[in-house]
Every structure is written in structure tokens, then in C-alpha cells.
DNA sequence: CTGAAAGCGCTAACAC
DNA sequence: GTGTTAGCGCTTTCAG
């Protein structure tokens, strides 16, 4: 008669306690691995746990611990172009899903997810995926965190002037960014030394003997785009090339193709190209080949990121490696650190890029 | 003296009630949009909410509603090959992150995420990302759900014989699959009519005049790989081609390249290739070009999925479209349906593929 | 080392 | 239409 009185609902601590003949508190201690419990009793409790099939209720636990063991992984973007889906007069940058689709078109985000998950998982934590491309969506992210649905946020911004970091810190919520915020907010972040990366690319092209070098930059309203361009230009200037042709892309393969077309039209004799990411570099290679230029013999191409696109390309891309997974893991570490010590100061960690030489340059 | 007594901690229902001069219950009603509340009072409460900056505590709410508004989005795989990372004698298919990295190397998963998020988001729900490539990881997913950390699970299996669906239904947990389970489990799922898709590809190649057609199949231990091959073979046989060369790939570009090399070595005169996904088709195109074959003039190539790789390829791939985002959305709808009516029967929805003609065939 | 008891913040009967 | 109240299942002092 001590059994089977709990036919409905999942077993609770109470049930286990009864089955083990101890108090709820003791069961709780055993379940949470708190010391100071008689080994013999521990064993009895463990038995009872497995007999009853007990699983602690996360909500009840969260209610008292004030922790959820979840973190929000949010992809944030300020302005998305109107979707070219032709589905009627929808909002120009609305929540029609074009943003979420675009995000994953770039192999970059998958790598971030990989890095985050690999750090979180061994610690029993999980990422909740969120997108914050509109002001409404941003408010929802803030609300989500304020409700205590997640312990903190990992922010990957696709555009500068993203208001989200500000909103978050203002609300006293724990957050860490991938990439330095445009306006200095007191918040931790990881970033890459983009300028150094661009320098590596420029020097490689120069060392290779290229003399008429152009660049396909990233969007100039995103910090990474600016920094890579700046690093490239500075290096070129320092080596006696104060004027280098530039075509702005949007980090997509398509925009890379268009940029390459423009470059080729204006400078048919170029012999080297630095693209600010691999997707654009790949687009450039396609266009070059279509125009009868051999890569790297006629035109050398260097990409950036060392994403999966670099190996997918023919020839495989010489590129500047951004250790995305490692950076994402570090970003996660910074967040968990902050959660453990809420008033630890904001920290930033800058990673150094590395040149990876393959076939394209 | 009615104010500022709550300097510490977030404001609770109690605080709002006090500020509005009503009871907790009333505040709860207006916050949750329950009818039967005097409009005037509603207004007063809303004021109080915004004055206090109240945000409902999700844990407390979940504790009583038994809902979290989160669903687990789990990528499940049975056997992953040993990582080729050369980092010492690690476990052959361990939790070293190689699985998570592989998963996002394919544009497929990003599309699934997109579809899921776009369905979930307007409903105030969010996906928690999980991976279940080892038996340990699978147990964690089950435990996660049993703790009530998420209301249900969306499963994307990368291999057949995945034990997860069985574990889940056995535990009475709500789950829906992307792709039919290998062994018939009583569980809802969405899937594509893979055979029809393969038929479309074969017929297109045939109609185009190709007579020496080979195929690069997917891994034969995954249902989609089998079905696409079966559909292709049947159609070829029906059109008088009982024997078509086959090379097995693993749905990666690299494996597609290797398969194409083999095919070309044995059948130098082939004039058409059906690859079971776009990544492999892209690899095939590269290899064909390296061997001096023009696509589509010398050899026509048809892919499968209509992923981003199809457009990234030169020439753009003629392919069989799998409406991944729509299928993922439907999968999500099925899950929420199930959550709303727990004893609704298991349902399956099969989507029809569509041929998309571009440059490669 | 173990038990008793006080909540965590919210929803949902149930009274009024 | 609104307030009272009883928990939801857990952790955590505080006694013993």
C-alpha cells in the first residue's frame, strides 16, 4: 500500500522519498550530488529513483534556483532587404522568414552553433535559437530573458548599430557578443583581428607577384566588412599601392559574382583579388573562369573565413582562417563565467587569423 | 509607502497587484488575456504592469501549466564515422563535436531550422537545439523531455535504425519526425516522395536524350538514399535501361567527387548523371570539368534537394526540389497539434517533389 | 547526517 | 467580475 498510489502524473521527489523511506530533502541531496549523505542511504535512494523512474521537474527546480540551464543564441540583424520572394506587398524587412533563411545560407552560422553547442553540452546546458531582425523581435528576446526563460544571451549580429546589446545591458541581462559592438557598450565579446587577416591576404598576393590587385569588400555597414577593407588598404598602401579598386559585396556568393563582374569590366588586367569572405571569393572564381581567366595563373584569389565554401571551391581557396568554432566556444565560456560571477568585469577576447594556402593563390 | 518596497528581485504578480489595488488573480487574468475582466480595471492593471516593469516568471508559470513553450529540435544520427581530425585516439564516434560540425556542413539543416522557427515564432514558442549522435546523448534528450524542459521533440534523423523515436514514444513523449522511421514506430512524421523525385530526374535525363546515364546514390543505410536510388532504377528499367552504373556517396560534396571519379573511370562515355543530392552533384560537376567534360553539353547532371548549392554551382543545377522549409513547418504543426490534443492519432504527411530545370541538364 | 518546513511565483478552482 | 486559497515540485535554511 505504499505503492501505486501515484498512477497519474510523473513521480515526484515525494514519491521517491516515500519509496526510499527518507525525506524529500535527502532525496534532493542525493539527486543533486550534494555531499554529506550516508553512502548506504545514497544507494537506497538511487534504487528508489530508478524504481520509480523519477526525473526532477525542471520548472520547479528553476523556480527556486533561478537558473534554467538554457541560453538564448540570438542572431541579430538590423536591416534586412526586402525579400525577393514576390509574395505580395509584404513588409520590407518583416518577419516573413527571409531573414532566418538568409542567415543559414552562410556556413558561418552553422559553425557558431557548433562551437556553442560543443561548449554547452558537456555542462548540461542547451541553446535556444532566436532571431532578432525587427524591433518587435528584439523586444521579444528581451522579454524572453526577463522572464527567466534563459540564463543569458549569446548575440551574433549581422549588422552594426544593432540596438540589441544596448537593450540587454540596460535591462541588466547577461549577454556576450560575437564581434565588437559598433557603439561601445559595456559588454563582453569575442572578435577576430580582421585587419591582421586582411593584411595577411594582401601580403600573400603581393609576395606572389600580383601587381594589379583589387578587392571585393564586405558590406561597409558591418564592422567586419570595414575592418577587412581597412586592413587590406593599409597594407597595400604601405607597399606602394595607394589606390586599389574596390567593389562592395554583401557577403553572399551572388554579390561576389556581381562585384567581380564590375571589377573585371573596369580593370580587365587585374591579376589578384582579395574577397572579404569565402562565399564571395567563390563567386569571383566562377566569374573569372567564365571570362576565360584561369585561377590562380591569370588571377589569384584569396578569400576569408576558411568556411566550407573554401574547400568546396575549385580550385580550393587560399583564405584567411577565422576560428569560428573556437571563438563561439570562448564566447560561451565568457557568458557562463559571467553567470557564475555576475559582477565580473566585461571582457573581450580577440583571436588572431591565420593564412591557409590552397590552390587559388 | 506602497512603492519601492521591492528593491531587490524582479517584480512579481504580487507587486503589480498591490500597485494596481487588485488581487493577484486579476492581474494574472489580464496578463494572460482572459476575458471577464472589467475594461477599466484592465487598463489600471496594464498601467501597473508597465510601471513596475513586470515580466511573468516562466518557471513559476510552467510549474502549474505544465508547458514550457519550448520544443527540442534534435538532430539524431546513429553512426558517425571516426573524425578525421587526427587528435589522438579519441572515441570512434564520440562527442568530440565532429558530428555537430558535419551536420551544419549540409545546407539542409539550416533550412529545417528556418522552417521550424518560422512556424514556432508567431506562436511564442522556441526551439532548443540538441544533438543525439551517441547513446548517451540520446538518453540526455529523453531525460530533458522527461524533466519537462520542453513540450515535445522534433527529430531529424541522419541515419536509419535510429533508436531515438522508439525511446521517445516508449516514454510517452510527444515527438514528430522528419522522414519516415526505418522500423515502423507509431509516430507522426513528414516525408518526401523520394521515389517520385528520382523518377522526375531520370525522365528528364532520358527526355533530354541521354542514353548512358549513371547515378551517384546517397548512403544506402539511410531511407532517403535507398528510396532515391530505387526510384531512379525503376524508372530507368521501365525505359529499357535495366543496368545503370551506380557509385555510392555520403551526401557530401567530397564523396560526390570521389564517386564521379569512379564512374568516369569505368564509363568514360557516360552522358548523364543523377546525383542523389545537390552537394554531390556539385562535386560531380567539378570532376567532370576537370576531366574536360562540359556540363551539360557532354554530360548532363541532375541534383536533388534544390539547396543553396544548386544555385552556387556553375552551371546552376537542374535539380529535384524538396520543400524543406515547408516540410519542417508542417512537422512543427503536427507536433503542436499533438500537444493540443494528446491522443490524436499519429499522422504522416508526404510531400511531392518538383523538378527545377536550370543549366546543368 | 537527516528531517521539517518555508517558500519560489504563478494559475485555477472555488467562493462571493 | 473579482478575490481567496490551495497547490505545482523543488531547494534550502534551520533544527536536531
Question: Does the predicted model carry a pTM greater than 0.85?
Answer: yes
Question: Which residues on A lie below 8 Å from B101 (Cβ)?
Answer: 111, 114, 325
Q: How many CB pairs under 8 A join A and B?
A: 144
| pLDDT one-digit tens code per residue, A24-82 | 999 999 999 988 899 999 999 999 999 999 999 999 999 999 999 999 999 998 654 33
Note the pLDDT of residue B86. 31
Note the pLDDT of residue B253. 95
**Interface contact flag, B122 A95, Cβ < 8 Å:** yes
Instruction: Pick the residue of A66, A98, A101 with the most B CBs within 10 A to test the interface with B by mutation.
Output: A101
**Contacts for B212 with CB less than 8 Å, ≥ 6 apart:** B267, B269, B270, B271, B272
Q: What angle do CA B179, B200, B161 make, to 5 degrees?
A: 20
Q: For residues B168 and B177, is the Cβ–Cβ distance under 8 A? A: no
**Interface contact flag, A56 B147, Cβ < 8 Å:** yes
DSSP string, A66-105: ---SEEEEEEE-S--PPPTT--SS--TT-SSSHHHHHHHH
Q: Which three cell numbers stand for residue B34?
A: 482572459
List domains and CATH numbers for chain A: 13-56 (1.10.260.40), 70-80+98-192+325-351 (3.40.50.2300), 194-321 (3.40.50.2300)
Q: How far apart are CA A289 and CA B152, in angstroms?
A: 49
Q: Which long-range contacts (CB under 8 A, 24 or more apart) does A263-267 make?
A: A263/A214, A263/A216, A264/A288, A264/A291, A264/A293, A267/A212, A267/A214
Note the pLDDT of residue B82. 31
Q: Residues A309-332: what's their mean pLDDT?
A: 96
Alpha-helical segments (H) within chain B: 13-20, 24-31, 39-52, 58-65, 98-105, 107-120, 135-146, 164-170, 194-207, 223-238, 253-266, 278-290, 308-312, 324-340
**Chain C positions with any atom < 7 A from a protein CB:** 1-5, 7-13
B62/A contact by beta carbon, under 8 A = yes
The dihedral over CA atoms of A120, A125, A130, A135, expressed in degrees to the nearest 10, equals -100
Note the pLDDT of residue B94. 58
Note the pLDDT of residue A84. 31
Q: What angle do CA B338, B342, B348 make, to 5 degrees?
A: 40
Q: Which three cell numbers stand for residue A133?
A: 531582425
Note the pLDDT of residue A95. 65
**Contacts for B246 with CB less than 8 Å, ≥ 6 apart:** B214, B215, B216, B217, B229
Q: How confident is the model at residue A133 (pLDDT cuts 50, 70, 90)?
A: very high
**Chain D positions with any atom < 7 A from a protein CB:** 1-5, 7-13
3-state secondary structure of B71: strand
Q: Return the nearest residue to D9, CA–C1'.
A: A60
Q: How far apart are CA A213 and CA A220, in angstroms?
A: 19
* Separation between the CA of B58 and the C1’ of C16 (whole angstroms): 30
Note the pLDDT of residue A94. 58
B84/A contact by beta carbon, under 8 A = no
**Interface contact flag, B113 A100, Cβ < 8 Å:** yes
- What is the mean pLDDT of each successive set of 10 residues along chain B, which is 361 residues long? 50 93 94 89 94 96 97 82 34 66 89 96 97 94 97 92 92 95 90 98 98 96 94 97 96 96 97 97 96 97 96 95 98 97 94 98 93
Note the pLDDT of residue A160. 79
Q: Residues A344-350: what's their mean pLDDT?
A: 95
Q: How far apart are CA A22 and CA A27, in angstroms?
A: 7
* Separation between the CA of B354 and the C1’ of C7 (whole angstroms): 60
Note the pLDDT of residue B101. 85
**Interface contact flag, A100 B111, Cβ < 8 Å:** no
For chain A, how big is the Rg over CA atoms in Å?
26
Note the pLDDT of residue A81. 34
Note the pLDDT of residue B97. 76
Note the pLDDT of residue B160. 79
Q: How confident is the model at residue A244 (pLDDT cuts 50, 70, 90)?
A: very high
| pLDDT one-digit tens code per residue, A83-125 | 333 333 334 445 677 888 888 888 999 999 999 999 999 999 9
Give the end-to-end CA distance of chain A in Å, rounded to a whole number: 79
Question: Which residues on A lie below 8 Å from B332 (Cβ)?
Answer: none
**Is nucleic acid strand D under 7 Å from B26's C-beta?**
yes
Note the pLDDT of residue A8. 58
Give the nearest nucleotide to A55, CA to C1'. D9
Amino acid at each position: 500500500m505504499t505503492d501505486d498510489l501515484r498512477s497519474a502524473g510523473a513521480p515526484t521527489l515525494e514519491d521517491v522519498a516515500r519509496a526510499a523511506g527518507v525525506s524529500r530533502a535527502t532525496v534532493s541531496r542525493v539527486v543533486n550530488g550534494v555531499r554529506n549523505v550516508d553512502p548506504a542511504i545514497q544507494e537506497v535512494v538511487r534504487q528508489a529513483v530508478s524504481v520509480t523512474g523519477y526525473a526532477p521537474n525542471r520548472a520547479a527546480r528553476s523556480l527556486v534556483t533561478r537558473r534554467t540551464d538554457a541560453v538564448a543564441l540570438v542572431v541579430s540583424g538590423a536591416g534586412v532587404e526586402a525579400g525577393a520572394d514576390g509574395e505580395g506587398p509584404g513588409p520590407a524587412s518583416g518577419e516573413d522568414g527571409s531573414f532566418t533563411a538568409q542567415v543559414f545560407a552562410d556556413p558561418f552560422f552553422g559553425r557558431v552553433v557548433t562551437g556553442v553547442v560543443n561548449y554547452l553540452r558537456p555542462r548540461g546546458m542547451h541553446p535556444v535559437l532566436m532571431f532578432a531582425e525587427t524591433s518587435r523581435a528584439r523586444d521579444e528576446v528581451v522579454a524572453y530573458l526577463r522572464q527567466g526563460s534563459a540564463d543569458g544571451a549569446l548575440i551574433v549580429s549581422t549588422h552594426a548599430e544593432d540596438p540589441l546589446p544596448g537593450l540587454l545591458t540596460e535591462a541588466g541581462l547577461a549577454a556576450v557578443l560575437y564581434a565588437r559592438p559598433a557603439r561601445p557598450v559595456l559588454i563582453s565579446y569575442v572578435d577576430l583581428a580582421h585587419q591582421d587577416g586582411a593584411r595577411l591576404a594582401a601580403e600573400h598576393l603581393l609576395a606572389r607577384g600580383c601587381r594589379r590587385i583589387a578587392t571585393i569588400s564586405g558590406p561597409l555597414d558591418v564592422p567586419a566588412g570595414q575592418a577587412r577593407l581597412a586592413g587590406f588598404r593599409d597594407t597595400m598602401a604601405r607597399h606602394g599601392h595607394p589606390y586599389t579598386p574596390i567593389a562592395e559585396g554583401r557577403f553572399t556568393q551572388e554579390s561576389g559574382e556581381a562585384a567581380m563582374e564590375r571589377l573585371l569590366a573596369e580593370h580587365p588586367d587585374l591579376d589578384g583579388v582579395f574577397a572579404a569572405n569565402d562565399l564571395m571569393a567563390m563567386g569571383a572564381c566562377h566569374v573569372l573562369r567564365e571570362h576565360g581567366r584561369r585561377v590562380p595563373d591569370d588571377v589569384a584569389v584569396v578569400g576569408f573565413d576558411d568556411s566550407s565554401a573554401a574547400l568546396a571551391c575549385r580550385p580550393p581557396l587560399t583564405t584567411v582562417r577565422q576560428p569560428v568554432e573556437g571563438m563561439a566556444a570562448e564566447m560561451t565560456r565568457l557568458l557562463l563565467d559571467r553567470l557564475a560571477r555576475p559582477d565580473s568585469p566585461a571582457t573581450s577576447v580577440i583571436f588572431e587569423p591565420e593564412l591557409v594556402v590552397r590552390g587559388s593563390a
